[in-house]
Structure 1
Amino acid sequence: MITSKLMRPLTTGGVLASTVLFASGCKSMIVFDPKGPIGEQQRDLIYFTMLLCLIILVPVLLIAAWIVWRYRDRKNNRAPYQPVWSHSTKLEIVWWGIPIVIIVVLAVVTARYTYALDPAKPIESDKKPVTIQVTSLDWKWLFQYPEQGIATVNYLAIPERTPIKFELTSDGPMNGFWVPQLGGMIYTMSGMATTMYLQADEPGNYMGTGANFTGRDFAKMGFTAKALPQKDFDRWVADAKASGNALTEEGYQTLAKPGTTDRMTFASIPSGLFERIVHDYSMSRGAPPGYTLRAVTLSEEKKAEHTAHPKNGQLPPGNGAQKDAPDAQSLGQPDHRSGHMHLIHGK
């Protein structure tokens, strides 16, 4: 009995202390410390959503606590449990009407913010946007500055108070490009180029990261986005051009291989490299275009190998491979009966 009496205030104190620590920890959550117009609007939407949810959550929790206390089972309570059920139209209107109104308000506000925060929508500014082409690799980030003719790996320099037009793609698995203090995350996908506008309103170093699981070293795909005054940014570009380290086509192929690397700066880049990365996946790395081309299955490949080398033994049973597989001579050759081309994939 004494132990239970002591545990109650300790438990209450622990809950209150945890709440205070959690609330104070929000100050270090960088999503709630935006440094750009996109990030500020997203933070405002989060706050507004949380406020509407609290309008429902707080009264419900208070009423639940009051009901538990009011109708608790007391010592020596011998009163029979004889509930009397009744219906109240007014109460039904209250506890259904308020949530419906809140959901409608939240839907309207979210729709307005969704339109205003379209990633591809340019940011209003009297300054010309700076274009940066972003390519996610395994496991590193390549940033190209086509207007300046330079490139960096695993770090990003941008001028402050200037809209940045990010053109994003992937030369590997899909990833997520995210600089939390500047704005929302957008995916990078092979064979596709997406666009996102961000802006930093003050100088500083902002954390950037890959926000999608992409294999062994995905956790190392972090980078720093450094916002500089315009004069410092121009000086940085001049220093990068003077570094003399050129990114060649062969150098890019080496860079694109899976692995990690330190920060790198390139004084020049191949013309149209970003467009070729996108085009390469959309045209030549996938299946050949056209609905008249049919890929050969694994069973058909095994059938071809067996026909070419009879000593390898019989085909494994199942899937009708022996019945449905085409002749070896027809693989890779036009099928004059159907007008189709048989292609072998997977090797």
Structure 2
Amino acid sequence: MTGPIAEAEYALMWQAFNLMLLVVVPVILLTLFFAWRYRAAGGKGAYRPDWDRSPIIEVTVWGIPIVMIGILATWVWDKTHALDPYKPLPGSEPLRIEAIALDWKWLFIYPDLNIATVNELAFPVGKPLSFRITSEVAMNSFMIPALGGQIYAMAGMETQLNLQADEIGTMQGRNMQFSGDGFAGQTFEALSMSQDDFDAWLSNVRQSNSHLDTASYADISKPSTDAPVRYFSTVPPDFFSKRVAHFMGMEHEHNPNVKAADQ
């Protein structure tokens, strides 16, 4: 696990698990004890056919689980809202990244850096990451397990996710929602780098002769499995927003030239 979101989610799962054990373990032990004490052959438990209830047992059996569920529900509710994926992380200005799910690959756009990549995501260690996520195809689910939980990517809709890596290394990201023949290979490398290494990576991407435009996007949008890493040295303005608007019949609002051409 690396990063504040992953660590917080990991701690929450174990804390909730341990809290539930306070109920589960005594129930299991008492079940085994009763089975042994009141067994038909040699059990020492008293046989009381007319006994029907005990206030102490009723309070114990119902009261403790109710209290535990109340504590657990309040606690998880608070932690869940604290880990809202839309909530920005504290620290420096985040690195903005726009992710588009395709068949069967991921396109990553860095709007502030004017570059894009396919199936490779790089970022400086310790830098907050602010994702905008959508899909050009069927529903997908974006996840980098080492950094935090998954969030859905849907055509014509935008979801958001905020993550951060606190260690340098290579992590795997993938689509967690089954999406057809190439689902198993729809993975990408998430590279957490030092600032110097990220600057060198950025310089390498900017040296690419490929540019993200209508033609290149149509090419990478074609279904393919185990797609190779590709770099695009330039990206049209508001490319991500226009792809989202494309499914909502709002292209004219984002591109006045389209309306003029239609007229």
Please say whether Structure 1 and Structure 2 have the same fold, judged by a TM-score greater than 0.5: yes
Aligned equivalents of 1:195, 1:262: Cα separation in 2:
26
Query: Which of 31, 36, 58 is the aligned partner of 1:64?
Result: 31
Aligned equivalents of 1:69, 1:162: Cα separation in 2:
58
SS in 1 for 2:30: helix
In structure 1, the gaps of 5 or more residues are: 1-33, 286-347
Matching of residues 42-121 of structure 1 within 5 Å: 42-74=9-41, 83-121=49-87
Amino acid aligned to 1:275: S
Aligned equivalents of 1:144, 1:202: Cα separation in 2:
23
Aligned equivalents of 2:88, 2:74: Cα separation in 1:
23
Aligned equivalents of 2:60, 2:150: Cα separation in 1:
39
Instruction: Report what 2:211 is aligned to.
Output: 246
Matching of residues 1-347 of structure 1 within 5 Å: 34-74=1-41, 83-125=49-91, 127-260=92-225, 261-283=227-249
Amino acid aligned to 1:119: P
Question: What is the aligned length?
Answer: 247
The Cα of 1:270 is off from its aligned counterpart by: 2.3
The Cα of 1:72 is off from its aligned counterpart by: 2.8
SS in 2 for 1:147: coil
Aligned equivalents of 1:120, 1:82: Cα separation in 2:
59
The Cα of 1:241 is off from its aligned counterpart by: 0.2
Q: Verify the 8 A CA contact 1:247 1:270 in the aligned structure 2.
A: yes
The Cα of 1:269 is off from its aligned counterpart by: 1.8
Report the TM-score, using the length of structure 2 for normalisation: 0.89
- Higher Cα Rg, which structure: 1
Aligned equivalents of 1:142, 1:93: Cα separation in 2:
57
Amino acid aligned to 2:128: P
Aligned equivalents of 2:53, 2:172: Cα separation in 1:
56
The Cα of 1:184 is off from its aligned counterpart by: 1.0
Aligned equivalents of 1:100, 1:88: Cα separation in 2:
18
Aligned equivalents of 1:251, 1:237: Cα separation in 2:
20
SS in 1 for 2:248: helix
Q: Verify the 8 A CA contact 1:249 1:270 in the aligned structure 2.
A: no
SS in 2 for 1:167: strand
The Cα of 1:284 is off from its aligned counterpart by: 6.9
Instruction: Report what 2:257 is aligned to.
Output: none
Aligned equivalents of 2:158, 2:48: Cα separation in 1:
67
Instruction: Report what 2:254 is aligned to.
Output: none
Deviations 1:253-298 (CA, angstroms, capped at 9, x unpaired): 111122221111111222222111101011179xxxxxxxxxxxxx
SS in 1 for 2:133: strand
Deviations 1:40-85 (CA, angstroms, capped at 9, x unpaired): 111111011101110111011111111222233438x9xxx87333
Aligned equivalents of 2:209, 2:181: Cα separation in 1:
33
Aligned equivalents of 1:69, 1:138: Cα separation in 2:
59
Identical-residue share of aligned pairs (%): 40
Aligned equivalents of 1:92, 1:192: Cα separation in 2:
50
Deviations 1:191-235 (CA, angstroms, capped at 9, x unpaired): 111111000011011121101011111111111111001111111
Q: Verify the 8 A CA contact 1:38 1:199 in the aligned structure 2.
A: yes
Deviations 1:141-165 (CA, angstroms, capped at 9, x unpaired): 0001111111111121111101000
Deviations 1:110-163 (CA, angstroms, capped at 9, x unpaired): 1111211111110011x2100000000111100011111111111211111010
Aligned equivalents of 2:250, 2:129: Cα separation in 1:
31
CA RMSD of aligned residues (A): 1.7
Amino acid aligned to 2:78: R
